[in-house]
Chains A and B, each alone.
With several copies, the nearest count.
Chain A
């Protein structure tokens, strides 16, 4: 997939455009959530939608997340495609029961007769100086819930393309938006905006031969930076952007790891019980004899997300990634 870079936009703008285009193309697409209408969302990601499509298509709901997701379930039962915004990661927790007990299971429960094409947009992760409850990385909860797709863009083009795909999907998608990339700018091609790999495919963002960094969402830019810095140490690092945690692209990931023989999984979420465990375990199961070193993980510490003034110590940064790369038993090679 080649994208002719023509027009710089922020990730937030690409997301807005994705919803706008989806709403224009399909009258069953409805956006709903707290402050998504008149205000355009606290991150302005739904800006303009209520104006263009009316308040019935982009609705300010009462302040109750279970109610938002629960009514979205009913709307989907009647043939609509709700796109639900949870205002922040931690404020999706009240909707957990609806998500786990209904959204993820309704298709299976009814033997396919009642699919729920709901997109749950969750701004997630830290690095924005947010106070408590505004910086959680909750992807482990969603990954452990069969029946959900869990998708997260790291580039502007993917923000558009993956959100369009998520809204078009007949399955429920938890769409995790890395808050700190909302204002990241990139060039993309608005004429081929959906010209990205499908949900379920990982993408090699930087080819390399020494070792593979496997990451997603907010940590992709950090990994790319680390890969640049690693050159000075003589390491040519490959960087994979998973894009979709569920379904998981074993093929792309394992092909890369088999090539390099070494891998580090990088994410912001806490390490223990976080996504990295699953990823490292499945790589090891599949590529054991290609591994020169154990798959290592660089993750947030196993602590509640820190207050803003301390968050930099928690977030995986370039140095921590390079330290992990250094521990990939290079001496064994010689």
Chain B
């Protein structure tokens, strides 16, 4: 049948499938990052929460400096510091209930620790004795994800599965500004919105992906503006304002738990340190920028607020500091012990049940190690 034979009704109206769809306005972020500290909203904040956040921020900063120090002592292979981003890291951990799940990216050991994972176990990957050090199920924290943005679909799948099972569990997934450029970011957010999965995405926009500044990463008005393209709300928050981040994340978590679906949160913050200890940030950014951000330090912002409101005095500051020092001392001490290494473990977890091939290879390595030991023994014996 050709067209000509199909004449008849003709409808110069909007295309039939077109129904006015969701109003995009509520999905768009505010023009400015949401802040609490230094604004009127601060009065409403729960003093207990503020103090908890403060203590955690101080601990968090100390954790960052201690871990960085451990790289210099050769105790960590590498450390991507979250100095300057402690408000995001801590708020992410504190916004979750115990039954919820956290999906960290490689920079987020602090969030992992703040969630309750033993710092030594959180640092296993970066020390290099194994890939992931903690039991993900113990604290409901996924392994640190090195391939950027790949953890986001995991968070969506887990949240979706929990919902299918009838559990009111929320997943919070962390990603960097650079990670938003990956295809996996897009696919994860799309699946989340289509499935209305109870998941919250927190982008820590710290200005850089290694050396690449945000302007080379995206031309969007903000990263939070990506949300509308998936049909979920986008929220923009001052990432150095721990109270604001905590509030925005808690709202998003509550919303997700109540069946309202996913939210994309962009926290505007700054990576004060170099990308990792191995990086030289002076190659791609100036001191002035760093200094400007130092003056917007998340700990000082909160400390100022607490002191102003009479919720914190010198004794309180000192107590927080002492607590942080104790944590650092314990971490230092434990990290200075050599980890126990078992080369045979290389074969133990590749499959649920090992294969004939791996058994052969295991035996080969075993024999090599025995020969090595024998040689050592002989040498030592000879030396005596």
Contacts and interface: CB of A to CB of B under 8 A. Distances in A.
Direct A–B touching in the complex (beta carbon < 8 Å)?
A: yes
Interface of A: 30, 34-35, 37-40, 42, 56, 60-67, 69-80, 82, 90-91, 93-94, 97-98, 101-102, 105-115, 129-134, 146-147, 149, 169-171, 200, 246-248, 250-251, 272, 301-304, 306-310, 313-314, 319-320, 323
A131 B77 contact: yes
Interface stretch (B252-260, B296-304, B312-320, B345-353): B345-353
A36 B351 CA distance: 29
Contacts of B184: 66-67, 70, 94, 97-98
Contacts of B182: 63-65, 94
A71 B125 CA distance: 24
Given A63-B148, A98-B150, A169-B352, A75 B157 contact: yes
Contacts of B142: 77
Contact of B187 (A64, A101, A320): A64
Contacts of A309: 127-129, 339, 341
Contact of B125 (A97, A108, A131): A131
Interface stretch (B206-214, B261-269, B325-333): B206-214
A309 B129 CA distance: 5
A117 B125 CA distance: 24
Contacts of A107: 349-352
Contact of B131 (A30, A73, A307): A307
Given A39-B284, A67-B191, A71-B156, 8 more contacts: A34-B209, A35-B212, A65-B182, A67-B188, A70-B153, A303-B346, A313-B365, A320-B364
Interface of B: 77-78, 125-132, 135-137, 142-143, 146-148, 150, 152-162, 164-165, 171, 178-179, 181-184, 186-188, 190-191, 194, 209-212, 216-218, 283-284, 339, 341, 343, 345-352, 355-358, 361, 364-365, 368-369, 371-372
Nearest to A70: B153
Given A35-B211, A301-B347, A307-B130, A72 B355 contact: no
Contact of B158 (A56, A75, A132, A146): A75
Contacts of B153: 66-67, 69-71, 73-74, 98
Nearest to B146: A133
Given A70-B184, A131-B128, A250-B356, A313 B346 contact: yes
Contacts, number: 251
B352 A171 contact: yes
Contacts of A108: 131, 349-350
A56 B165 CA distance: 10
A308 B128 contact: yes
A296 B148 CA distance: 38
A94 B183 contact: yes
B125 A132 contact: yes
A94 B160 CA distance: 22
Given A70-B184, A301-B365, A309-B128, A38 B347 contact: no
A129 B348 CA distance: 21
Nearest to A77: B158
Contact of A72 (B137, B157, B186): B157
A26 to B, nearest CB: 14
A53 B270 CA distance: 30
B351 A97 contact: no
Nearest to B127: A309
A272 B357 contact: yes
B345 to A, nearest CB: 7
A203 B181 CA distance: 42
Contacts of A106: 143
A34 B194 CA distance: 14
A106 B164 CA distance: 23
Contacts of A313: 343, 346, 365, 368-369
B355 A56 contact: no
A38 B212 CA distance: 8
Given A74-B154, A74-B160, A303-B347, A131 B126 contact: yes
Nearest to A169: B352
A250 B360 CA distance: 12
A301 B128 CA distance: 18
A306 B357 contact: no
Contacts of A66: 153, 183-184, 187
A332 to B, nearest CB: 22
5 contacts: A35-B211, A56-B164, A109-B131, A200-B355, A310-B343
Nearest to B155: A74
Highest count of chain A CB atoms <10 Å: which of B154, B165, B218 = B154
Nearest to B369: A313
Given A35-B212, A73-B154, A109 B143 contact: yes
Contact of A302 (B152, B212, B357, B372): B357
B185 to A, nearest CB: 9
A38 B211 contact: yes
Nearest to B125: A131
A267 to B, nearest CB: 15
Contacts of B164: 30, 56, 80
A313 B364 CA distance: 11
A103 to B, nearest CB: 11
A142 B164 CA distance: 31
Closest 9 CB pairs of A and B: A74-B157, A70-B153, A67-B187, A71-B157, A39-B211, A308-B128, A78-B161, A74-B158, A63-B178
